[in-house]
Amino acid sequence: ADEDVATIQILMSDTGGGHRASANALRDAFNVLHETEPDRFPLKIHCDIVDIYTDYGPFFPYNQYVALYKIMAEYSFLWKWFYEFGSTPLGLWLNENALELSCFEPFQDCLTRNPFDSSKNDKRADMVVSVHPLCQDLPLKILSSLDSNGASRSEGRVTPFVTVVTDLGGAHPTWFNEGVDKCFVPSDVLKKAAMDRQVKENQIVQYGLPIRRGFWRFGADYTGSPEEQDEATEMEGVHHKPTIRESLGLKDMTTVLIVGGGDGMGGIIAQAQAVGEKLQSLAASTNENYQMVVVCGNNKAAQTTLSPPQTNWGADIEVNVQGFVNNMDEYMRASDILITKAGPGTIAEASICGLPCILSSFLPGQEEGNVPYVEENGFGCYRGSVDGMAETVQEWLASPSKLEQMRDNALVAARPDATLDIARDLADMVYVRKEELKKGGGANSKKETQTKTK
Ligand code: UDP
């Protein structure tokens, strides 16, 4: 029965791969907590994850954000303009008001939908979590108007609303709204950004980024208490590089991993060619063996171009070309150096795997801050040219002690417990709300949900 399940609606949009990945990670974390810590988390939590713009945006541009993001990520000057203008007081005001005029009613339909059956609006979620920068202002307004039965727009909200920021070293101002119950941020820089936007210190919680289960401290096989698991992990050596390499069909040798974005952006062909040539000449002039793994993401053209017969890598180095992989944690744990665009998820994942990074590009705005994040934490650098990347690979390979130091630095910055920590706090909040609702203090009833405010 519904009584035995708490429900959380997670608002996101598929602009880039990171938001849905974070939403899924939180959903998985709730399930794991319910299984492994049943005394503290006796109630199952059901997540209703929704791309609110694609599914409820009434017209262009709102229902085309995903396609627009892809175009703008390719032509980053467009993105830069859009991002920077959107951060100005005028841009923020325009966005907020246009959004409210266009989307209030459709978004209200989204926020009042039944978490188990989206075609019905008879019972809404017990709590709302946003993992997207454009899902704060209007959803908060809508919840306030629903919960106070139309009496007020800014007060009276009883449904808990939480933001979980999925950017790392920089974030757009729209991420932060002082009206939220809690705002989870992954870094000091974003804590400050939140406070600059009037979010108070006692609303802010800092654990790290929510990321996929394979990157949690105990990997995908977490089944016991942290103590038991710790011992088991040590005994089995689950992160043993040679074993992981073997399971992936890779050779057991020094490995450079090149990753395109979730969408395969970022000039990956030229990068692989430059780094491949450098590794070939290094292998020919030393007695070392080198391997390069290229993960092209959804970039099929790059995958074809870099694979035989189109490219012959010769006998000096091992090259393995993949499309989109679902086991990035294993590929990262098998590698020694990562070349990637400055995506927040990828950087946090690399850090957990102790993998030094060469950042090949960044989206102006929200990814710009990820460069100093990596540099200041001492586990990598930015190289804008493919020759620069290849040089840096050579330099790092020539200095094992430097590589080791960067590996240690990455592990210090890593937050492998963040996802479960965030999920524990969210679960506590939704349980409190569930108790309130049981005692009849709720506004989630059919009658009030169906009351529309204009
Ligand atoms: N990724 C993956 N398989 C691939 C390529 C990428 O699972 O073949 C994942 C990567 O591990 C990361 C995400 O895609 O979790 C990309 O997220 P990020 O925040 O780095 O960039 P975004 O795509 O959101 O801009």
Distance in Å, CA 119 to ligand 1 centroid = 31
Residue nearest to atom 1 of ligand 1 (CA): 262
Distance between CA atoms of 340 and 322, rounded to whole angstroms?
A: 15
Tell how far the Cα of 25 is from the centroid of ligand 1, in angstroms.
13
pTM, whole model, 2 decimals? Answer: 0.93
Residues comprising the chain, all counted: 454
Residue with the nearest Cα to atom 10 of ligand 1?
346
Nearest CA to ligand 1 atom 19: 345
Residue 298: phi and psi, rounded to 5, are -90, 10
Sign for the pseudo-dihedral over CA of 268, 270, 274, 277: positive
Residue-by-residue DSSP string for 406-453:
HHHHHHHH--TTHHHHHHHHHHHHHHHHHHHHHTT--S-SHHHHH---
Mutate to test the pocket of ligand 1, among 51, 328, 419 (most ligand atoms within 8 A of CB): 328
For residue 115, give the nearest of 104, 105, 127, 106 by alpha carbon: 127
Q: How far, in Å, CA of 108 to CA of 142, rounded?
A: 6
Q: Phi and psi of 9, rounded to 5°?
A: -95, 125
Give the torsion sign (CA, 277, 279, 282, 287). negative
Closest C-alpha to 338, from 170, 45, 330, 347: 347
Angle at 406 between CA 346 and CA 361, to 5 degrees: 40
CA triplet 125, 126, 127: central angle to 5 degrees?
90
**Mean pLDDT, each 10-residue run in order, the chain (454 residues):** 86 93 97 94 97 97 94 88 94 95 97 96 95 97 83 70 97 96 98 98 98 83 59 58 95 96 71 97 94 94 94 95 94 97 96 96 92 98 96 97 97 96 98 91 46 37
Give residue 453's pLDDT: 38
324 touches ligand 1 (CB under 6 Å): yes
- CA 326 – ligand 1 centroid, Å: 10
Alpha carbons 268 and 274: distance in angstroms, whole number:
10
Give the distance (Å) from ligand 1 centre to CA of residue 241. Answer: 22
Other beta carbons less than 10 A from residue 338's beta carbon:
27
- For the CA of 345, the closest atom of ligand 1 is 19
Cα 338 to middle of ligand 1, angstroms: 13
What is residue 320's predicted lDDT score, i.e. its pLDDT? 98
Which residues are within 8 A (CB) of 12 and not within 5 positions of it... i.e. 6 or more apart?
A: 19, 20, 22, 23, 49, 50, 51, 52, 130, 131, 132, 135
How far does residue 250's CA lie from ligand 1's centre (Å)?
Answer: 21
